[in-house]
């Protein structure tokens, strides 16, 4: 599985706030593991080909702009994901739009200022 996303990490100012956000939006199980301020994400992927973690941000953010890769998560209902993001303290960075022949995509900002995307693939 060379050259495929296998792991992602989400930097956080407030890990508990981010944990609550992602558990509510995507239904992930997130548990403390290893070093202090490090949590493994257990998404509901049967084969566990992609893993993730929440970790304390190494230094405070300053200024504006994206400072990391923005991962896109496949979802079965993009409108429900949009509602869940808003209901749990996130915001819409780029509204839902169609990518011809691929699906519908939206970008979000989580409670920690990180950008991510969700796509309902056709």
Per-residue pLDDT tens digits for 17-65: 999 999 999 999 999 988 888 899 987 766 667 878 898 887 777 776 6
Write out pLDDT tens, residues 26-35: 999 999 988 8
Q: Sketch out the chain's domains with CATH numbers.
A: 7-58+68-121 (3.10.180.10)
Among candidate residues 103, 96, 98, the one with its CA nearest the CA of residue 121? 103
Question: Positive or negative, the Cα torsion across 114, 67, 73, 104?
Answer: positive
Specify whether the CB–CB gap between 85 and 93 falls below 8 A. no
Phi/psi of residue 82, each to 5°?
A: -60, -45
Q: Using CA of residue 28, residue 22, residue 86, residue 73, what is the dihedral sign?
A: negative
Quote the pTM value: 0.79
């Amino acid at each position: 599985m060379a050259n495929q996303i296998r792991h992602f990490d989400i930097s956080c100012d407030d890990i508990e706030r981010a944990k609550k956000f992602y558990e509510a939006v995507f239904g992930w199980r997130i548990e403390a593991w290893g070093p202090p301020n490090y949590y493994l994400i257990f998404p509901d992927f049967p084969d566990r080909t992609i893993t993730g973690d929440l970790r304390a941000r190494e230094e405070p953010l300053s200024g504006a702009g994206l400072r990391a890769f923005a991962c896109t998560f496949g979802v079965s209902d993009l409108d429900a994901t949009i509602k869940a993001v808003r209901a749990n303290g996130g915001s819409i960075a780029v509204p839902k739009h169609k990518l011809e022949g691929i699906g519908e995509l939206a970008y979000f900002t989580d409670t920690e200022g990180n950008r991510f995307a969700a796509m309902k693939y056709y």
